[in-house]
Amino acid sequence: MLYRNGLKKVMFRLDAERAHHITIDGLRRMGKIPGALSVFRGMYAVPLYRELQTKLWDITFDNPLGLAAGLDKNGEAVPAFSSIGFGFMEVGTVTPKPQAGNEKPRLFRLPEDSALINRMGFNNVGAEQMARNLQGNTGRAIPLAINIGKNKVTPNEQAEQDYRECLRLLYPYGDFFVVNISSPNTPDLRNLQHGDELKRLLAAVMDEREIQSRKLQAVKPVLVKIAPDISGSELEYIMDTILASGVSGVIATNTTVSREGLRGAAAAEAGGLSGRPLSGKSSEVIRSVYRLSQGKLPIIGCGGIFSAQDAYDKIRAGASLVEIYTALIYEGPELIKEINEGLLELLRKDGFKRLSDAVGADVL
């Protein structure tokens, strides 16, 4: 309870982005102190439960709970995050060239809603520096996903070159990759989810994956991260394109532009909303994606997970793995073990022998 009873109060007195940078810098430094990661594992490690272990794309995930993209944007604190109980993690979003992102302030807490609003705008050090960061991270013990995007100044007509460049520079360092076309904070980025632009982009990404896989003799999965603000025939068309592309899976979902039902003072701020208000919407998208793919395309569920029941609902809706971000800010690393142990209880209660048996149980 170290975070909830003490550190959280201190961090929440600070500007949200300043607290974010202090956290990442602190974890980065801790990862280089002899013995520090062992202390983290002693405090937060999740025991290996065979029921929770999952294998996807020839990658073994010791538990289904991962860290979503956006927290460790530059891959600086991977050893520390690898030591607090996660089953996997995402770094990024990274772009080929460094960029400062949008003007500050651009990150806002909504405690009344257990939510965040961000309009960061893919602020990151660029793919070359991330590669150096990841090359120097020797303490990683969990699968690593790298979330890739395009620079703000790159027009959509040339976007495929940015995604290719990220794959080219970072392919040796990730276990799988996530194509981010769904952030609301880069102008026109979400247009890449539609029509011929999506077809061309995914064809280029898969072609680059093929080039890099021949060089390294390793075929690594590529997933697509989609927005929660799509439904009906629009989602059907997107899924037809994704299924035809040969990508390995979907992350559902990114942040939402909806502000329905919010109470927080920052509700009117522009940007993407994450946290508890996103829970139902993201689960609906997961359910639709699972149905449209007939359960054949693995899904990572993300959005509004604050408890084992939240995670379980997404698994039963069709997610094979799940991710948190906002809940970690509000509840701290203790939550990771709580969710995993709660999932184990829920699986046993429903008579499932393995987590994979529960995937999509409420859909097909």
Domain membership flag for residue 363? no
Q: How far apart are CA 324 and CA 303, in angstroms?
A: 7
Distance, C-alpha 134 to centroid of its chain: 17
Helices and strands per DSSP (H, E), number in the chain: 14, 13
- Amino acid identity at 289: V
Domain membership flag for residue 256? yes
Domain membership flag for residue 76? yes
Largest CA distance in the chain: 54
pLDDT at site 152: 93
Low-confidence ranges of the chain (pLDDT < 70): 1, 138-140, 185, 187-191, 193, 195, 364
Residue 192: phi and psi, rounded to 5, are: -70, -10
Say how many Å lie between the first and final Cα of the chain, rounded. Answer: 39
Cα four-point dihedral sign 171, 172, 176, 177: negative
Question: Which secondary-structure segment (H or E) carries 299?
Answer: strand 299-302
Domain membership flag for residue 364? no
Residue 15: phi and psi, rounded to 5, are: -55, 140
Q: What is the CATH number of the domain that holds 120?
A: 3.20.20.70
Nearest residue to 3 (alpha-carbon basis) of 28, 23, 21: 23
Tokens representing residue 86 in the block? 């996660």
pLDDT at site 31: 86
What CA–CA distances, in Å, run from 206 to 44, 122, 222?
37, 23, 8
Question: Cβ distance 204 to 164 under 8 Å?
Answer: yes
Active-site residues: which are they?
183
User: Into how many domains does the chain fold?
Assistant: 1
pLDDT at site 189: 64
* DSSP annotation of 68: P
Q: How far apart are CA 228 and CA 230, in angstroms?
A: 6
**Domain extent at residue 198:** 2-358
pLDDT at site 141: 84
Tokens representing residue 124 in the block? 């990151």
HSE, side-chain direction, 13 A CA sphere, residue 277: 23
* Verdict on whether the full-model pTM lies above 0.85: yes
SS3 sequence of 193-229: HCHHHHHHHHHHHHHHHHHHHHHHCCCCCEEEEECCC
Nearest residue to 3 (alpha-carbon basis) of 341, 255, 338: 338
* DSSP annotation of 287: H
Tokens representing residue 120 in the block? 């960061």
Residues in the chain: 364
